[in-house]
Structure 1
Amino acid sequence: MLVTGTLEDGAAYEVEITGREDRPVVGSRRVRALVEQHTGRPVLLGPVGPRRPLAAADTAAVLALLRQHTAVVEVRP
C-alpha cells in the first residue's frame, strides 16, 4: 500500500508499507526510523481503539502509526 503525507516539519513523504518484518516501509528514511522507534510500543488502530503493539509486518498498525504521528494525505492499495 502506498501512503503519501507530511511530517511535523512539513516535509512531504511517500512510502510503500510492505508488510515485511525486515523492511516495513520503503521510500523515506525518516518514516522508516519512526516505525523502528515505535516497534513494540502500543498503537491505536482507530480513534478509540483497539490498541496493540506495533509489529513491523502489521500493515494496519504501521498505517495507524503514520496517522498518529504524521498528516496522511492519501492511501492507495
Structure 2
Amino acid sequence: MMVTGTLDDGSAYQVQIPGQGGSPVTGSRRVRTLVEQYTGTPVLLDPLGPRRNLDPADTAAVLALLQQHTQVAEVRR
C-alpha cells in the first residue's frame, strides 16, 4: 500500500506500508519514527471504532494512525 500526504509542518511524504514486521513503513524516516513511537498504543480504525493496538505489521492500523496524525492525500493499494 502506498500512502501520500503531508505532516503537520507541511512537509510532504510518500511511504509504502509493507504489512510485515521489521520496518513498518519505507520511504520517510519521519513517518517511520511516528509509527514506531505509537506502536502498542490504541488507534481507531474508523471514526467510531473499532479500536486496535498499533502493530507495525497491521496495514489498517498503520494507515489509521497516519490518517489521525497527518493529512493523507492519497492511498493506493
Q: Secondary structure at the match of 1:43?
A: strand
- Give the counterpart letter for 1:36 in structure 2: E
Report the TM-score, using the length of structure 1 for normalisation: 0.99
- Give the counterpart letter for 1:25 in structure 2: V
How many equivalent residue pairs? Answer: 77
CA–CA distance in structure 2, aligned partners of residues 46 and 30 of structure 1 = 24
Q: Secondary structure at the match of 2:74?
A: strand
Per-residue deviation, 1:66: 0.1
Per-residue deviation, 1:29: 0.2
CA–CA distance in structure 1, aligned partners of residues 10 and 21 of structure 2 = 28
Per-residue deviation, 1:62: 0.1
Which runs of 5 or more structure 2 residues have no equivalent in the other structure?
Answer: none
- Give the counterpart letter for 1:22 in structure 2: G
Which runs of 5 or more structure 1 residues have no equivalent in the other structure?
Answer: none
Q: Which residue of 1 aligns with 2:15?
A: 15
Runs of 4+ in 1 over 4 A off after TM superposition: none
Q: Secondary structure at the match of 1:40?
A: coil
- Give the counterpart letter for 1:45 in structure 2: L
Report the TM-score, using the length of structure 2 for normalisation: 0.99
Give the aligned CA root-mean-square deviation in angstroms. 0.4
Any residues of structure 2 matched to 1:1-77 within 5 Å, and which?
1-77=1-77
